[in-house]
Structure 1
Amino acid sequence: MTDDVLILIDQQKAMGHPRWGPRNNPQAEGNIFHLLSTWRARKCPVIHVKHDSTSPDSPFRPGQVGNEFLPLTAPFPGETVVAKKVHSAFIGTDLVARLEAMGRPSLVICGVLLANSVEATVRNAANLGFSVRLPADACWSCDKRDLTGRLWPAEDVHQLTLALLDGEYAQVTTSIAVQASTIGR
């Protein structure tokens, strides 16, 4: 059986930019780090997805400090990095080909923002036939204003997004449950 692939979405310094506003789940980065440490200890495949925005005012644009990986979860030499220019890691990249070459493994997807790049990647993965686990505590969300002007708190955005994904696109779980099932293999 092929090992699950851990996919880390947009673990870049740009996520600290004030434009995102208030967020939830301040433990997310630590939980992502613990998942990454588990994968590295077991020598399981890890894919770091990096957003290389083409928008001139984006903190994710190459050449900006925000484009750099966060030190805590930065790729080690030899770990795969997939650069994307849109929300989903599957659009305009070689991610499908890489996963096909690995035997179409199950995926564990985490990172930021849950209601943006993580959600787009999870939905595409499921639509492509991949089995996905999504550790809710290894992602985070930001406040979001809807079209009526109502401001939705980050935790509400997070919980609604998880509810929309669970069962149809992914198995929503926790980082501890993912680590326990990975270590138990």
Structure 2
Amino acid sequence: MRIAGDAALVVVDVQVGFEEVAYWGARNNPGADGNIAGLIDAWQATGRPVVFVRHDSPKPDSPLRVGQPGNDFKGYVEERRGKGSGPELLLTKSVNSAFHGTPDLAEWLDRTGVRQVVVAGIQTNMCAETTARLAGNLGYEVFFALDATYTFDLVGPWGWRLDADELARATAVSLHGGGFATVVRSAELIEAAG
């Protein structure tokens, strides 16, 4: 795997509100936060671009709504913002994909010549996956750092229920098998970026 010198790390929705167990339920991958922090550190140390994405939920009961403490980035993300030597972008959105936020992510990536994108963050099967799919559709080479994401159990139609690990596996298979992204581990990305 070759990671370009200008590959952008897109850190999706790593916000305090996702710690509200009563709202979200059981999560998977307790090591995700450490892996996300490691990717940010590696990208900042090598001067690569980092995009910090924040979900500003319009839902009145969401822990991620503007003006609530849950809207803030988790502490380890907030303390890393502005610390890299490379370009950095703060992007806000109210839908799943970071490509439908403000400012325009595709325009920013294209203006800086970025053609390779690494996606990490929360939730694996929601905003992280949707961002990766759109990046693939837009022609970027996409790496999805599966172990630098996490998600929650979910109930679908007819009472079908998938636990968080099953949802993460489904995301990995859909993205990788469907050609949207190459699904990798964060350690592989850090080594390739070094």
Tell me which residue corresponds to 1:104.
114
- Percent identity reads 36
* Separation of aligned partners in 2, 1:67 and 1:22: 20
* Separation of aligned partners in 2, 1:77 and 1:171: 28
Q: CA deviation at 1:151?
A: 2.2
Could you tell me which amino acid in structure 1 is paired with residue 72 of structure 2?
Answer: E
Given candidates 162, 187, 194, the residue that maps to 1:176 is 187
Tell me which residue corresponds to 2:67.
63
TM (norm. structure 2) is 0.90
**Cα deviation code 1:127-185 (max 9, x no counterpart):** 111110011100112111121213211111111111011141000000011111111xx
**8 Å contact from structure 1 (residues 2, 102) kept in 2:** no
Higher deviation after alignment, 77-86 or 66-75: 77-86
Given candidates 77, 80, 91, the residue that maps to 2:82 is 77
Tell me which residue corresponds to 1:6.
9
* Separation of aligned partners in 1, 2:183 and 2:57: 28
Tell me which residue corresponds to 2:159.
149
3-state SS of the aligned residue for 1:61?
coil
Tell me which residue corresponds to 1:17.
20
* Separation of aligned partners in 1, 2:93 and 2:18: 16
**Aligned-residue CA RMSD (Å):** 1.4
* Separation of aligned partners in 1, 2:164 and 2:9: 25
3-state SS of the aligned residue for 2:11?
strand
Could you tell me which amino acid in structure 2 is paired with residue 176 of structure 1?
Answer: A
**8 Å contact from structure 2 (residues 27, 151) kept in 1:** yes
**8 Å contact from structure 1 (residues 33, 72) kept in 2:** yes
Could you tell me which amino acid in structure 2 is paired with residue 31 of structure 1?
Answer: N
**Count of aligned pairs between the two proteins:** 183
Unmatched 5+ residue regions in structure 1?
none
Tell me which residue corresponds to 1:118.
128
Determine whether 1:160 maps to 2:166: no
Q: CA deviation at 1:73?
A: 1.5
**8 Å contact from structure 1 (residues 114, 158) kept in 2:** yes
Give the 4+ runs in structure 1 shifted more than 3 A: none
Structure 1 residues 2 and 180: CA distance shift in structure 2, 3 A: closer
